[in-house]
Amino acid sequence: MENEVLDAELVLPNYLSFKRVQMYDKYPKGQSRGRHWKHLKQIIQAENYQNYPPDEPNYVNIESPPSMHPCKRICDITGYEAPYYDPKTNLRYANTDVFKTIRSLPNDYVQRYLSMRNAAVVLK
């Protein structure tokens, strides 16, 4: 290792005296490192929240509801108010200039703009 790296103590040491079980014992090398950790969705499913009283707060039921206000529509490209939307690309746009732009956009850009608001076409 280079001296500056050692000086900065950049690399986490393998052995730490204050640990009862060292990392290399716990996760021995050579065995599949990709131990599966449940993702949040799986964790929530395993919690079985449906078995508990609904008035008891839990991770799922404290989630906010959808908004009651009408949603503001903004131009996907410029961010201005968007009174129109283009049925061909599904992009919202503010004026004719932007319309010209979106009609000249290549399809992958259109999809990227759409995916920002989670409206992209997902092929499965």
Partner 1 sequence: MPFISKIERQSDYNRFSSSTPIVIDNGASYFRIGWAGEAEPRVVFRNIVQRPRHKATGETVTIVGDHDPALLKYFDCTRSGPRSAFDSDVVFQFEIMEYILDFAFDRLGATGSEINHPVLITECVCNPVQSRSKMAELLFETYGVPSIAFGVDASFSYKYNQQRRVCDKDGLAMCPGFATTHVIPFVDGEPIYKGSCRTNIGGFHVTDYLKQLLSLKYPYHLARFTWEKVEDLKMEHCYVAQDYVSEARLFQKGAKEAEEKTKMWQLPWVPPPVEEPPSEEEIARKAAIREKQGQRLREMAEAKRSSKINELENELRGLEFLLNQLGHVQESDVPSFLAETGYVSRQEVESARNKNVQSLRKAKGEQKSEQDEIEKTDPNEKYTLINVPDDMLTTEQLLEKRKQLSIKSMSDGRQRLKQKRQEEEQERGRKQQLEEERRLANPELYVEQLRASYNDLSEKLNQRKRLKTNGSSSTNGNGLAGSVGRGERLNAAQRERMRLLTTAAFDRGKGEDTFGAKDEDWQLYKLMSKDNDDDDEEPDEDSIELARISSRLQELDPTFVPKVETGSSQPAEVPRVRPLTKEDFQIVFGIERFRCPEILFSPNWIGVDQVGLDEMAGVSMRRLSCNNERLEERMTKSILVTGGSSLFPGIVERLEAGIRMIRPCGSPIKIIRALDPVMDAWRGASAYASTPGFHTQTFTRMDYYEKGEDWLRNYQLKYSL
Residues that bind partner 1 (CB under 8 A): 1-2, 4-5, 8-13, 16-21, 23, 26-27, 35, 37-40, 43-44, 46-47, 55-59, 62-69, 71-72, 74, 78-81, 88, 94, 103-104, 106-107, 109, 112-113, 116-119
The β-bridge partners of 76 are none
Amino acid sitting at position 83: P
The length of the chain in residues reads 124
Residue 123 CB, shortest distance to partner 1, in Å, is 14
Residue with tokens 């393998």: 14
Q: CB nearer to partner 1: give 66 or 124.
A: 66
Amino acid sitting at position 6: L
- According to DSSP, residue 74 is labeled B
Q: CB nearer to partner 1: give 40 or 124.
A: 40
For 93, list phi and psi in degrees, rounded to 5: -145, 160
Q: CB nearer to partner 1: give 104 or 124.
A: 104
Amino acid sitting at position 86: D
Residue 23 CB, shortest distance to partner 1, in Å, is 7
Q: CB nearer to partner 1: give 54 or 124.
A: 54
Distance, in Å, from the CA atom of 114 to the CA atom of 121, rounded to the nearest integer, reads: 8
